[in-house]
Structure 1
Amino acid sequence: MFIKITKKFQLTLLLLLSFSLFSINAQAKEYTTEELNEVASKIINWQVNDSTTTKQIFNSKTLLNAGSESSDWFAIGVGRLGRNANYLDYQALLSNYVSQKYQEKDLLSKQKATEWHRIGLAYLAVGGDPTKLTFDGDKVIDLVKDGTYDRGKVKKLNNQGINGLIFALILLDAMNYDIPNGAHDTRADIISQLLDAQNKDGGFSLTKKDDSDVDITAMTITALAPYYNSKEEISLENQKKIKISDVIEQSLSFLSEKQTKDAGFESWGTPNPESAAQVIIALTALNRNPQTDKQFIKNDKNLIDFLMSFQMKDGGFVHSFDYDKENPNSKPNESNAMASQQVLTALGATIRQAENMRSFYDFRPEMTKEVASQVERVNTNILQLENKETPKSEINSLYESFLEIPNEDKRYITNYSLLSKQLKKNEIDSSKDGLTLTNTGKSSKGNGVVVSVETKSNVLQSEDLSKKMSAIKSIKNNELRLADLPLIYSTYYQANLIKEEKLSPDDMALLKNKMTDLKDVQKNITQIGNTIQKEFYPMKDLGAKDFFKIRKTMKSIESISKEDRHLIFGYEDLEKSYAHTASKIKSLIISVVVIIIILIALIILSNNRKKRKKEKYRKLMMDEDEEYEDE
């Protein structure tokens, strides 16, 4: 029997086919690692070119601010991507900052334990060892001890909120550090306090009085991720027992529910890339792909799609396209340092996960090929359990393969819960896995490893001391600039760090003298910056009346080299204000001159007019006299 196909039916079929094709094409785009690396490069270029023309990734402004949030998070992002950068310079300036702060009463901070955590992570990211941080080779500081398991001897870890607990755990697991007997806080202590902080909706907040927050929830997941596969039940304050995996799943549900229709997140009502970046890092810590995880795809868009909507033409990322009163330092439609740096970390986390590398905050050497292939094989076989009936013998064999993976690397088994269900179903003893909060496997000691995500090779950080010293000797004292500081400080740092490459006593004395001179330059820059901040802000209020005061400060800036002037707080703003007020003064002078000219012209015209009147009057009087004489 033949069916007659009408034109109307053909049109309907065509429309259905078109809609089907559109639906396929509308699926969330999965960005390649090459594409993500390119975006990361644009962020780095924006950061570097933001204030200086240096070709090094860590420029003088970034280095001089080592130990601050803005510089440290940038260093962490760059290090986890493994870009070729001047890591020794950053190590030197960061260790110098910490050494100087440790001479003060409150050390890094009186209240915030996260200062130790961020700096510890940054030091690892640039290849340092935060348990043996030193600038001069003598005074050795243990940031891990002071900032995590023994921080409670000074202040509670959660004194500032649960982010103190979150990042303490992240730093501890960055190298799977051992906690010694007699420590104030153990891993179990920190994890128990974190679990107790979970809200009823599954999310977490900075303090109990706050509503659940996307960023804090995502960070908590990141901290707890290494313990996802632990079957150990943790006792809470209310005597309830719970597994870490259950807490994480509840938190993931909370985040998924908070996700907006464009696959993004809001913080205090403002859509922003920073919140999405934290969720991406959390997912990758669980070895989940943030681009394909169905729980976080909304309307055929994924988290990376949302991030990319904030990219600006200059390569940076904007915090918000609308004014955010909660973040007054960010400007709508302008690339923002914090937003750009957090996106950079999210890109690094995504690339590392896609390339089967260690997670973003895991700074240990990459797994051996044997262990990595075994982890991949176990993960693949576990996934197949979901789709087929598997004989008990195969389940048991798979479990044995799982047990062969070192405890410290079992965190990279993604779907252990599937295997755990099958073990229970087949009545196979699963108590042998040994995954507990106290048995996290072998600790790594030493420096954080910087690995290129593009080449998978370690990034070399050694430099020729003799060449560096020759360059330093060629600098004349009257030509010393802060641009020379990284070279001088890193040379001194390297000379103390690598004992087999010692410099002569004369060379070391020269370095110390130049460091003293540089401190004077820094002091001058700081004083001028303080003057600008105190006397001229807000600069929108400055007018012609302030011209001479501005000119006096600008004169003092002339003693600073042109390369160093961008390091002065508010220099660019003051320079613009100087030009603006000078323009007003010029306009005022021109206006005064014009007025004077007009007044002179009017006086001349008036005098001429008077003269003409007088002349006319004189002539008139003469004519009258002549008429009188004629009569």
Structure 2
Amino acid sequence: MLGGKNGNFIVAMLLAFVGFFYTNNAVQASERTDQDIQSIIEQVIDWKKQSIGQNVDDPLFSNTYLKDAGNTIADWYPIGMGRIGYDDDYMAYTAMIDRIVTERYATKNKLSETKATEWHRIALAYLASGGDATNVGNGINLIADGTYNRGKTVDLGTQGINGLIWGLITLDAMRYEVPKDAHDTRQEIIQRILALQLKEGGFAFDQKKSDVDMTAMAITALAPYYNSEETYHYTNKQAGKQVTKSVRHVIDEALLWLSKQQQKDGDYKSDGKSNLESTAQVVVALTSLHIDPQRDERFIKNTHSSVDGMMKYRQGDGGFIHAKTYNKNNPTSQPDESNSMASEQALYAFVALFRYIEGDRTLYDFRDEQTTKVKNKIYEVEQAIAKLKNQPDLAKQALVLYKKVPIAERSYVDNYALLEDTLTEERIPFKTASLTANQKQTKRVMTTPSYFHQNRRKDNAITKQDVAAVAELVRQKPSTEQEVTVTKYLKQWKQADNASDFSEEKKLLQQRQQEIDKLKKEIASLNEEILDKLYPFEDLKWSDAKAVKEITARYKALPVNDRKQVIQYEDVEKAEVQINSLRRQRVITVLLVVVVIVLGMSFIIKKRRQKDDEE
């Protein structure tokens, strides 16, 4: 037995040693530096390029990739790459988005009949690529149409909590001011998200059981208002009861639930399966709150952080897999083959972490980077607040410093919660300006720091090389493969100060674009007629010969590479062979019939002659 002063001293020393060991070994996870993370990011991008047959030294945003611009499979890489300033052809991307959005706006449902997230994803990608999401194409405002005025056509929540979450993220990407006559206010969107919190503290798409992905996304959306003193009075949808909570209260509950869900390897599960995407969303959520995913003890299990959890899914080729086990419900995601969706989410999660380490704005805060003066004010107030743990009487001075921070930057004061709690405990009356009501910026300023070597041109002025390239382009036969290049040049001609000096080239580009549009319409028409007249191919008859001949002729008139856009184009080629085979069979049949008739006639004539001879 240990007893007396010496015994107590030994026990104290043992406890101190255990505490030291726990803090420095049981909790501490391995950390990756900004250089490590930059290398991971670059390798993900290199993998993506190679996966579509491009050289790693060439831009990702080229003809092959940008054919899918404006769709979910192509819009997330620009977000991750743009937010770290990776050198690529962003003008080509924004030019294609201008064209695609304009075309889709000419249809009844515009970008989507029910999915508001179509507006949100495209707006974020457009912003990350240096564009103004309030002025896409010929003045289309994706922020108004997709978020605060979405309800004028379809409710923002039609898509469930997803539409509300990404609507708020997009609205706050530039802290856009919401007009007084808007259908939905910022506060209303926040309240609707809060009302969907589940009893265990998290959020879910189906509103049944908390899900890691949706909980992390909800935290990311609400993060700019963690320091808000506003309270919301609403009916919780699941409980059906009136609730009064602040955003901070809800986020803290959601963080607690997320912490409990973390696995021993640092990763997370969704639908009972550990996966990369859920873990990546948690990393984005934590950095949105300025929480260090590599150091915060709440998010380290068995010495593994959520960053370690993501690295578990990294492949030797630089890409990431979705999960370690095969899921028959997700056949495109193999446990030993890098996956595009997993890789894109890993990309922007590591970009979020990198930006956190570098002291830049959060992943989805696209505003101009903070000035040194603003950063110094934030640092000063954070140091003052930190002292309140031992000197609560300094709360008033800390509050004065906090109010000197511009309202739009107060969400970056990491420890404001301590100041608010201290002021409340000390019974010091306080009230600061509403964070939700003071969002005024509306225009995009592209000042994302670049951590990669830059070869990108700094202006859009038309050069002799551009003129020569256009001349070479128009000498070639029209093809839809030229669409990205032509669209990019037309945007450059539109923006360049010296465009009037090259009006003839602009006319040639416009003419080529018209030729490309004609080809696209022809391909679309062919696809319709193939389905209507030739499908299913195995049932083709001789009566289909004329249709096959016409469609085959039109198909062969297309540029060789454009033929691949014709649905089941291999079957179209086979159809001609099939009809030719039917033609041969028909000819053979006719010939056989003729032969039979001739032989029959010969036999009859022969018999008659024999009869005549006998008589």
Q: With structure 2 as the length reference, what TM-score do the two structures score?
A: 0.79
Aligned mate of 1:290, from 271, 289, 293: 293
Contact preservation (8 Å) 1:452, 1:459: no
**Corresponding residue of 1:372:** 375
Q: Does 1:174 align with 2:177?
A: no
Partner of 2:157: 158
Q: Spell out, residue by residue over 1:256-303, the C-alpha distance to the aligned partner (whole angstroms, 9 max, x if none).
A: 111111111111122111011111111111011111111110000001
What amino acid is the match of 1:39? I
CA distance in 2, matches of 1:247, 1:171: 20
Query: Cα distance 1:64–1:192, how it changes in 2: closer, same or farther (>3 A)?
Result: same
Residues of 2 paired with 1:566 and 1:293: CA distance? 52
Asked whether the 8 Å contact 1:268–1:326 carries over to 2, the reply is: no
Distance 1:370 1:161 in 2: 41
Residue type of the partner of 1:397?
Q
Q: Aligned to 1:475, what secondary structure does the other structure show?
A: helix
1:80 to partner: Cα distance:
0.7
**Alpha-carbon separation, structure 2, partners of 1:409 and 1:377:** 14
* Aligned match of 1:613: none
Deviations 1:532-577 (A, max 9, x none): 999999xxxxxxxxxxx9xx99x97996566x79988899xx89xx
C-alpha deviation, 1:474, in angstroms? 1.6
Structure 1 residues 566 and 36, CA gap change in structure 2 (3 angstroms):
farther
In the alignment, what sits opposite 1:419?
Answer: 419
Whether the 8 Å CA contact 1:124–1:447 is kept in 2: the answer is no
- Cα distance in structure 1, aligned partners of 2:478 and 2:126: 28
Alpha-carbon distance change, 356 to 274 in structure 1, aligned in 2, over 3 angstroms? same
What does the per-residue CA deviation read over 1:404-459, in whole Å, with 9 as the maximum and x for residues that have no partner? 1111110101111111122223333321x21342234x42423554331469x998
Q: Distance in 2 between matches of 1:459 and 1:235?
A: 50
The amino acid that maps onto 1:293 is D
Alpha-carbon shift at residue 185 of structure 1 (Å): 0.3
Q: 1:465 pairs with 462, 466, 476, which one?
A: 462
Give the partner amino acid of 2:214: I
The alignment partner of 1:474 has SS state of: helix
Give 1:529 shift. 9.0
For each residue in 1:466-491, what CA deviation from the matched residue of structure 2 results, as whole angstroms up to 9, or x when unmatched?
33232111224444555543332111
Structure 1 residues 567 and 133 mapped into 2: Cα distance closer, same or farther (>3 Å)?
same
Q: Counterparts of 1:175-190 in structure 2 under 5 Å?
A: 175-190=174-189
Aligned with residue 239 of structure 1, among 205, 224, 242 = 242
In the TM superposition, what are the counterparts of 1:38-57 in structure 2 within 5 Å?
A: 38-54=39-55, 55-57=58-60
Judging changes above 3 Å, is the alpha-carbon distance between structure 1 residues 224 and 471 closer, same or farther for their aligned structure 2 residues?
A: same
Are positions 1:214 and 2:215 aligned together? no
2:517 maps to which residue? 519
Counterpart position of 1:258: 261
Q: Which residue of 1 aligns with 2:506?
A: 508
Q: 2:391 aligns to what?
A: 389
1:93 corresponds in structure 2 to: 96
Matches within 5 A, 1:313-352: 313-352=316-355
Aligned partners of 1:309, 1:566: CA distance in 2, in Å?
38
Alpha-carbon distance between aligned partners in 1 of 2:23 and 2:398, rounded to the nearest angstrom: 41
Contact 2:386 2:415 in 1 (8 A): yes
1:15-34 superposed matches below 5 A: 24=25, 27-34=28-35
2:368–2:445 Cα contact (<8 Å) kept: no
Over 3 Å counting, the alpha-carbon distance change for 1:184 and 1:532 in structure 2 is: same
In structure 2, the residue corresponding to 1:239 is in which secondary structure?
strand
Distance in 2 separating the partners of 1:51 and 1:458: 22
- Equivalent residue letter for 1:177: Y
| Runs (4+) off by over 4 Å | 19-23, 457-461, 479-483, 520-537, 555-562, 564-571
> Which structure 2 residues correspond to residues 116-127 of structure 1 after superposition, within 5 A?
116-127=119-130
Q: SS state of the match for residue 242, structure 2?
A: coil
Q: Is the 8 A contact 2:87 2:455 kept in 1?
A: no
Q: How many angstroms apart in 2 are the aligned matches of 1:464 and 1:567?
A: 34
Number of residue pairs aligned between Structure 1 and Structure 2: 533
User: Are 1:299 and 2:302 counterparts?
Assistant: yes
**2:252 partner SS:** helix
- The one-letter amino acid paired with 1:332 is P
Q: Deviations over 1:63-105 (max 9, x none)?
A: 1111011110011111011111111111100111100000000
Tell me the residue number matched to 2:402. 402
Amino acid paired to 1:389? Q
Q: 1:530 to 1:216 in 2, by over 3 A?
A: farther
Equivalent pair of 2:54/2:60 in contact (CA under 8 Å): no
Query: How does 1:528-547 map onto structure 2 within 5 Å?
Result: none
- Residue 48 of structure 1 contacts residue 59 of structure 1 at CA under 8 Å; is this kept in 2? no
Q: What's the CA shift for 1:239?
A: 3.2
Does the aligned pair in 1 maintain the 2:479–2:516 contact within 8 Å?
Answer: yes
**Residue 224 (structure 2) aligns with:** 226
Identity of aligned residues (%): 35
Per-residue CA distance 1:47-66 (angstroms, 9 max, x = gap): 11112335112132221111
Task: Tell me if structure 2 keeps the 8 A contact 1:133–1:142.
Answer: yes
Q: 2:489 maps to what in 1?
A: 491
TM-score under structure 1 normalisation?
Answer: 0.77
Displacement of 1:398? 1.9
Instruction: Compute the displacement of 1:514 (Å).
Output: 1.2
Greater Cα radius of gyration, structure 1 or 2: 1
CA distance in structure 2 between the aligned counterparts of 1:528 and 1:303, rounded to whole angstroms: 50
Question: Aligned equivalents of 1:398 and 1:570: distance in 2?
Answer: 69
Alignment of 1:607-626 (within 5 A): none
**Equivalence for 1:615:** none
2:360 to 357, 360, 383: 357
Task: Name the SS of the counterpart of 2:443 in structure 1.
Answer: coil
Assess if the C-alpha contact under 8 Å between 2:28 and 2:295 holds in 1. Answer: no
Checking the alignment, whether the CA contact within 8 Å between 1:125 and 1:449 is kept in structure 2 is no
The verdict on how the C-alpha distance between 1:156 and 1:505 changes in structure 2, with shifts beyond 3 A counting, is same
Counterpart of 1:201 in structure 2: which amino acid? E
**RMSD, matched Cα:** 3.4
Distance change (3 Å), C-alpha of 1:480 and 1:26? farther
SS of equivalent to 1:83: coil
Counterpart Cα distance in 2 of 1:521 and 1:93: 17
Contact 2:160 2:205 (8 Å CA) reproduced = yes
Contact 1:114 1:164 in 2 (8 A): yes
Q: What is the CA-CA distance between 1:216 and the residue it aligns to?
A: 0.7
- Tell me, yes or no, if the aligned pair for 2:27 and 2:301 is still in contact at 8 Å: no
What's the secondary structure of 1:81's corresponding residue?
A: coil
Q: Distance in 2 between matches of 1:565 and 1:81?
A: 38
Q: Does 1:198 align with 2:201?
A: no
- Judge conservation of contact 1:88–1:490 (CA < 8 Å) in 2: yes
DSSP-derived class of the 1:385 partner = helix
| Aligned residue identity for 2:424 | K
For residues 568 and 50 of structure 1, the distance between their equivalents in structure 2, rounded to whole angstroms, comes to: 23
Report the counterpart of residue 611 of structure 2 in structure 1.
none
> How far, CA to CA, are the matches of 1:74 and 1:508 in structure 2?
30
Paired residue type of 1:50? S
Work out whether residues 533 and 570 of structure 1, in 8 Å CA contact, stay in contact via their aligned partners in 2.
no
